[in-house]
Amino acid sequence: MLAADPEVPSFHAASGLFNSAKNNLGLRRIRGKHVMLYRAEPNGYKFCHHPNFAVFGDKLYLMWSNGLVNEDFPGQRILYCNSSDGAKWTKPIQLTDHKQGKGICVAAGFHVSDGTIIAFYTATGGTNFHPDTALTARTSLDGTSWSEPQRITDGFFIEGPRRLANGRLLVCGEHVGEKRKSNRMRLLYTEQADGLSGWKEARIKLGDLKVFGYTEPNWFQRDDGRVVMAFRNYSGHLFSSTSTDHGDEWTAPVETNFPDTTARFCMGRLPDGTIYLINNSLPKQFDRSLLTIAISKDGKTFDLAFIVRGEPTKMRYQGKSKLDGWQYPHAIVWKGCLHVAYSINKEDVGLTRIDLDDLRGD
């Protein structure tokens, strides 16, 4: 039996939190220190997207997709770099050489387990939903020398495994091939600490598939153990689903009132248990000119929000599927700060370090 559907969405934005009638949704900008990690140059690779963080040892790591000019085209590789303080970063290093540099790789995040850092990426079969598209991994004991690639499971993923409170790992992405005709999101769990094996597919009921394209699932866990998942879609608001059995079964997704412009978003917990949700919360579809962070004390009501980045941007190199704006955020807490990475116009990569005290809104 699947879990009973909730009577109301599992989270919501407080009334008036985002005022679409006001400039910048009526939000103020939060203090933060900005760092540019990669800037596209005329003679270099001109596409960047899908940033993902991890802490390994005493360093912060970040990976991202890096293509010649178009999104998810042959020659797209994975770059990564690291930092000891979040301010100064090493030069980017290439992680992949898929099909002798002619393949297509999409960054899917790191995972750290028992002194090993695992780099995940999606190797596509030529298109993102091709039946041969699969999650792939390489492992390292020092963050420099990597194992040979290992196929993990079929599907399209842009974020790596995350650990539930009971130790189980969840990884969430998209169905590919024939399965996509009757499914969208692919939600997997494993008891294996390294995330390299043992993946089982969770069950989730779906209604109208037309509202979902890429779902790009992301989640957080409440203090009572309930796991709350959200999904990108075409409605103008995030959809949500919940699990009470550590990710085995999920309720049917329902529309929330939380605005989303149809893009990847990021959810997580701060050390004090506060939940954050980072997304492009403007009402116009694919308008990624404003990157915001919303805060909830209970994981149900988001009643505080700030602008992370909102300065005007303009891409310098036109390419297929590229858009202006601050987009596809990923975040991690490290050394007293929330570090938020994003692509800029899908051609540069930047990050913002926010002091945790500034997220309390005092």
pLDDT digits (tens, 9 = 90+) for 135-167: 999 999 999 999 999 999 999 999 999 999 999
Which three-class secondary structure state does DSSP give residue 359?
helix
In the predicted structure, residue 5 carries a pLDDT above the cut 80: no
Residue 311 identity (one-letter amino acid) = E
CA distance 283 to 274: 25
Q: How many domains does the chain have?
A: 1
Q: What is the pTM of this model?
A: 0.97
Q: Answer yes or no: is 3 within a domain.
A: no
**Angle 268-273-277 from CA coordinates, rounded to 5°:** 30
In the predicted structure, residue 76 carries a pLDDT above the cut 90: yes
Q: Nearest Cα to 357, choosing from 18, 14, 30?
A: 30
- Relative to beta strand 337-344, strand 326-334 is antiparallel
CA distance 185 to 121: 17
The CATH number assigned to the domain holding 158 equals 2.120.10.10
Q: Answer yes or no: is 4 within a domain.
A: no
Q: Answer yes or no: is 95 within a domain.
A: yes
What is the greatest pairwise CA distance in the chain?
56
| Residue the block writes with tokens 């679409």 | 20
For every residue of 274-318, DSSP letters joined together read: -EEEEE---SSTT--S-EEEEEESSSSEE-EEEEEE-S----SS-
Q: Answer yes or no: is 5 within a domain.
A: no
Other Cβ atoms closer than 10 A to 209: 12
Q: Which ranges constitute the DSSP H helices of 178-245?
A: none
Residue 2's pLDDT band (cuts 50, 70, 90):
very low
| 156 DSSP 8-state letter | B
The kind and range of the H/E element at 54 are strand 47-56
Other Cβ atoms closer than 10 A to 4: 9
Q: Answer yes or no: is 7 within a domain.
A: no
pLDDT of residue 312: 97
Residue 7's pLDDT band (cuts 50, 70, 90):
low
Phi, psi of 180 (to 5 degrees): -70, -15
pLDDT digits (tens, 9 = 90+) for 237-255: 999 999 999 999 999 999 9
pLDDT of residue 1: 38
Q: Nearest Cα to 163, choosing from 207, 111, 199?
A: 111
Max mean pLDDT among 2-6, 93-97, 206-210, 308-312 falls in 308-312
Q: Answer yes or no: is 6 within a domain.
A: no
In the predicted structure, residue 290 carries a pLDDT above the cut 90: yes
Q: Answer yes or no: is 1 within a domain.
A: no
Q: Nearest Cα to 314, choosing from 300, 326, 302, 305?
A: 326
In the predicted structure, residue 291 carries a pLDDT above the cut 90: yes
CA distance 315 to 46: 10
State the average pLDDT over residues 19-37.
96
pLDDT of residue 362: 63
Q: What percent of the chain has pLDDT over 70?
A: 98
Residue 133: which domain range? 12-360
| 29 DSSP 8-state letter | B
Which three-class secondary structure state does DSSP give residue 178?
helix
State the average pLDDT over residues 192-199.
98
pLDDT of residue 97: 82
State the average pLDDT over residues 288-300.
98
Q: Answer yes or no: is 89 within a domain.
A: yes
Residue 31: C-alpha distances to residues 42, 307, 346 (Å): 32, 9, 24
| Residue the block writes with tokens 């989303």 | 260
pLDDT of residue 6: 53
CA distance 265 to 279: 5
pLDDT of residue 152: 98
pLDDT of residue 8: 73
Other Cβ atoms closer than 10 A to 3: 19
State the average pLDDT over residues 95-105.
90
In the predicted structure, residue 124 carries a pLDDT above the cut 70: yes
pLDDT of residue 179: 96
